[in-house]
Chains A and B, each alone.
Chain A
Amino acid sequence: MIQVENLYKSAKSKKLLAKRKQILRDVSIHAPAGKIVAIIGQNGAGKSTIIKTILGFICPDSGTVGVQDGISLGYLPENPYYYDYLTLRELLWFSASSFGVKRNDFIEKARAAVEKVGMQAELENRLRAFSKGMNQRAGIAAAIVHDPDLLILDEPMSGLDPVGRRMVFDLMNELRDRGRTILFCSHILSDVERLCDEVYIMHQGRIRRHLTREDLALTQKNVEIIVPYSDKAADLLTEPSYKAKRFANSLSVQADASQLNTLLDHLHNHNIPVEGVQSAAVSLEQVFNQIVTEEDVT
C-alpha cells in the first residue's frame, strides 16, 4: 500500500555557513495492505520526516514514495493542534466532508468515531476546552471518521492516559482485523511490540533494522539457565558471551538459544548441576537499545 524507496532528504542547518544536515539516508519502507507497520527511533531520528514525505508536505532530495491509487487516508499529526474555535462535531464534519462524506452518512460515522475514542459526551464542546489527551483522541476520531483504507499516525499514544492508550490499542487492532493498513511512529516500544506486524528501527536518519512479526518472535528466543551459586560456577561463567547474574544462592545465565547445548555440555563437564532452563525474552526495547548503543560506539 505504501512503498518508500531509497529516500534521501537534507535540510539547511540552523548554523550559518554550516553544511546541510542529512535527515534521511537511503530509507526504504514497505507497508503492505492490512498490516500494522511501525517506525521507531529516538527523537530526531527522522520518523516524522518520512511521514511528511509520504504525505507530500516535503519533497525528498532523491528516492520515490508510492501510495496505492484510489485509497482514502486518515492522518494524525504529532502533537495535533486543531482549530480550537470548532466543536468536536464541526471538526469531524470538516474532516469527513473534505473526503466527500454526505451529511446523512456523517451522523452515523461521527457517532461511531467518537464512540471508538470514548468522546460521545464531547461532541458539542469546543476544542479549546479539551485537555492534551482529549485533543489527541479528537484527532484520532477525525482521522478515522471517514473510515479510511490507510491510517498514518504520528505518536498516537502521546499524551494519553492508560485508558486512552488501551482504547487506541484496541482500535488499531480492530482496524487491522477489518483489513485497514496502519503506519505509525511511536516511542512506546511495548505497544509497538504487541501491535505490529512489521517494525522499522531508525537511527540517525537510516533504517537500522527491519523486523517482521516472525523476527520479533525469534528475537525472543534467548534462554536462561539457572545453576546453584559456587565460586567454580561463577569463574566458569564469567565469559563475556554469557550474561551471568547472582540471585541469592543461585546464578542466572542468559545466552542465545543456539549456545544452549554448548553451555549445558560445558556445565556437565565441570560437574555443575543445572537447576532449570527457561526461555528469556529479549524485548524490542533491548534490540532497539542495542542498535542505538552500537551506533553510538561506532
Chain B
Amino acid sequence: MMALMRVTFLEGVRSRILYGIFLFALFVVFLSIVFANFFMQDLGKVAFDFNISAITLAGLLISASLSVNLIAKDLDKKTIYFVLSRPISRMQYIFGKYLGLLAVFLFAYLVLTLVSGLALVLLKNLHANYFDSFSWLAYLQAVYFDFIKIMVLNAIIVLFGVITTSSFVNLLFTVSIYIMGQSISDVINFLSLERGQDAVTPAIKGVIAGVKYLVPNFEAFDFKVISAHGQLIGWGDFFLFTGYGVVYALLVLCLAALIFQRRELL
C-alpha cells in the first residue's frame, strides 16, 4: 500500500495541473495584497478571507482536476491490471490511492499556507493597526479544517470513482454532494423557522431529513468567520469536528472498497 501511496503522490506532484493551480492560487494571494489596500476598514479580515479562500479554491480545483481522474484513468488505461497483479488487495488499492492523494493535498496546503502566510506578514507589516485581532493559530485552524473538508470530499470522489469510469460523471456527482453538504444546514435552519414550516411539502421535508444524515455537513468545517476574528474553538469541538471528518471519510472509503471488491475488471 505504501508503494501505491508513493506512486500516487508522485503522480500528483509531477502533474502540470497542480502547478497551474499553484500559479493561480499565488495570483489570488498576490491580488489580496493589492486589493486589501482598497479597503478602508477591516483590512485585516479582508486579507485573511482572501488568502483562506485562495487555499480553499486551490483545494477544490485540485480535487476537480486531479482526484476525479485518478481511478478513472487507471481503469480506462488498464493500468489497474498491472497494479492489482501485485500482492495489493483491492482495499489496499483504494486506501493507497486515497492516502497518496492526501499526501498531495498536504504538500499543496503546506506550500499555499506558507505563501499566503508570507502575504499576510507583508500586509501586517504595512497595516499593523488593522491586524489587532489577527491570530496565526486561528489562521492555521481555518486551514486545518479546510484540509479536513477536502479529505472528506476526496473520499467521496474515490467512492464515485469506483462506481463510474467517467471522470465527468464523477465530477458531476461530487459537485452535487458538495453543494448539498455546503447548504444542508442552511436549509434545515430555514425549515425550523416559522416561515419555513409551510415552505415545502412533508415528503420533501422527509427527503431533506434523509439527506441531512447521508451527505457530509461541509459547513461544519468552515471556520473562516470566527478565525478571521482571531477566535479559536475549544479542544472538544476541535476533536469533534476532526473525528466527524475522519470517521465520515473512513466510512465512505470502506463503502468504496466494498463496491470495488465486487467490481469486474473486464
Contact = CB atoms under 8 A, between A and B. Distances in A.
Interface of A: 11, 52, 55-59, 73, 75, 77, 79-83, 85-86, 90, 93-95, 97-100, 139, 142, 152
Interface in B1-30: 2-4, 6-7, 10-11, 14-15
A80 B87 contact: no
A95 B7 CA distance: 11
- Which 3 pairs across A and B sit closest by C-beta, in order of nearness? A75-B85, A98-B86, A57-B265
A57 B84 contact: yes
Contacts of A85: 10-11, 14-15
Given A52-B266, A57-B265, A83 B79 contact: yes
Interface string B77-116: 1110110111110000000000000000000000000000
A86 B10 contact: yes
A57 B3 contact: no
Contact of B264 (A58, A86, A93, A99): A58
A152 B265 CA distance: 17
A80 B77 CA distance: 9
Most buried by A among B7, B15, B78: B7
Given A81-B77, A83-B79, A98-B3, A55 B86 contact: no
B266 A97 contact: no
A57 B78 CA distance: 11
Interface in B204-239: none
Contact of A55 (B14, B85, B264): B85
16 contacts: A55-B81, A55-B85, A57-B264, A57-B265, A57-B266, A77-B81, A80-B82, A82-B79, A83-B7, A83-B79, A85-B14, A94-B3, A94-B6, A94-B7, A98-B3, A152-B85
A77 B82 CA distance: 7
A82 B74 CA distance: 9
Interface in B162-203: none
A41 to B, nearest CB: 17
Contacts of B86: 95, 98-99
Contact of A81 (B4, B15, B79, B266): B79
Given A81-B77, A86-B10, A98-B86, 10 more contacts: A55-B84, A75-B82, A79-B78, A81-B78, A82-B79, A93-B3, A94-B6, A94-B7, A98-B4, A99-B86
